[in-house]
Amino acid sequence: MNEHVLRALEAVTAERAGDAVLSVRGLTVRFRLRGGRGVAAVTDACFDLAAGECLALVGESGCGKSVLASALLGLLPGNAETAGTAHLDGTDLLAAGERTLARTVRGRRIGLVPQSPAAHLTPVRTVRAHLEETVRALTDTPRRERRATAEAAAGRAAFPAGHLDRYPHELSGGLAQRAATALALIGDAPLLIADEPTTGLDRELVDRTADELRRHTDDGKALLLITHDLAAARRVADRVAVMYAGRIVELTTAARFFGTPGPRHPYARGLLNALPEREFTPIPGLPPELSDLPEGCAFAPRCARATAACAVRPAFEAGIACHHPFGAEDA
């Protein structure tokens, strides 16, 4: 990790020193491919996440958000190479072995709402059975109380009681999502990673799910919310990290990102301007392939503010990686 990244990280997260639940430094994930090629899925990600805080990680599909989450949980495929550190209560998640992650981290210290919940549910067990088994595995709840605890978790995730005895193949995508959210909440883990937790839900249920995640955070837990839904992020996030082509290009408060003066990175501002309630103007072009990233700024080919200076990759300084960021005069 270069000195620019370290200096910028210190400036952005100094006020959180000492109370971070999760501290990520230089997290990098590269996938080895046949023929010697590689895919730089995540590069030099750095952030802290404090107790009682929600950090929303946003960006277009394929930018590396879910890969970052998988790296924290040790769920990457065998052709993945990782670098950096990710400390959770004294444990470096990137260096920990499968035994440690399986027995002491997943479910107990990190709860996960997966992006594809149906793939994480056992097809021959009902939702109720999933919930009760998770209660048994992760809590000290007496056997006679497990049913009520499971039903309470379902209620928190707005999963209808009348569907608890259904099997995964009998659930809609939205119901599977709510079942996965209920499972993630049971362990009351200090860190919750929610990867697109509102996919397949209507607006009312999106708001209800977001509010429940916010309540979980307000109880003193940390939340890493990975989402395309900027409305949900605005509802619950304290800070926003914007990811593009595997890199975090802006890290700022939610108040600034969604309010005035707004985000400073042209890509971050473009995400907001693409919303129907704003300018409804899409960002031109497409993101680059992670296997063929340019030497300079990866966003330059799509950016109206790009100049010759963008042929050099911008350093991440003061919460932003951009040669030509927006300033107060652009608000």
Instruction: Summarize the confidence of residues 90-108 as an average pLDDT.
Output: 95
Strand partners, 39: 31
Mean residue pLDDT of the chain comes to: 91
- What band does 37 get if pLDDT is binned at 50, 70 and 90? confident
Strand partners, 30: 40, 81
Around 152, how many Cα atoms within 13 Å sit in the side-chain half-sphere?
A: 11
Helix axes 173-186, 203-218, angle to 10 degrees: 10
Fold type of domain 3-108+223-330: Rossmann fold (3.40.50)
What are the tens digits of pLDDT across the range 220-278?
999 999 999 999 999 999 999 999 999 999 999 999 999 988 999 999 999 999 999 99
pTM above 0.85, yes or no: yes
φ, ψ for residue 281 (rounded to 5)? Answer: -115, 115
Ramachandran assignment for 163, one of left (phi > 0), alpha (psi -120 to 50 degrees), beta (any other): alpha
Structure tokens at 274: 């693409």
Residue tagged 């379902």 (tokens): 154
Please report the DSSP string for 262-300 in residue order. --SSHHHHHHHHTSTTTT--PPSS-PPPTTS--SS-TTG
Cα angle 224, 264, 25; round to 5 = 40
Q: Specify the pLDDT at position 331.
A: 57
Nearest to 59, CA basis, from 224, 298, 249: 249
Enumerate the H helices of 22-145 as residue ranges. 65-73, 98-100, 127-138
What does the CA dihedral 75, 268, 219, 201 come to, rounded to 10 degrees? Answer: -70
Instruction: Summarize the confidence of residues 305-312 as an average pLDDT.
Output: 97
pLDDT at 5 exceeding the cut of 60? no
How far, in Å, are 6, 8, 17, 188, 286 from residue 25 at the CA level?
8, 12, 13, 25, 28
What are the tens digits of pLDDT across the range 296-305?
999 999 999 9
Could you count the other beta carbons within 10 Å of the beta carbon of residue 316?
25
Domain assignments of the chain as residue spans, ordered by start = 3-108+223-330
- Distance between CA atoms of 37 and 55, rounded to whole angstroms? 33
User: Which class for 133: exposed (0-12), middle (13-18), buried (19 or more C-beta within 10 A)?
Assistant: middle
Structure tokens at 185: 């909440």
- What band does 199 get if pLDDT is binned at 50, 70 and 90? confident
pLDDT at 329 exceeding the cut of 90? no
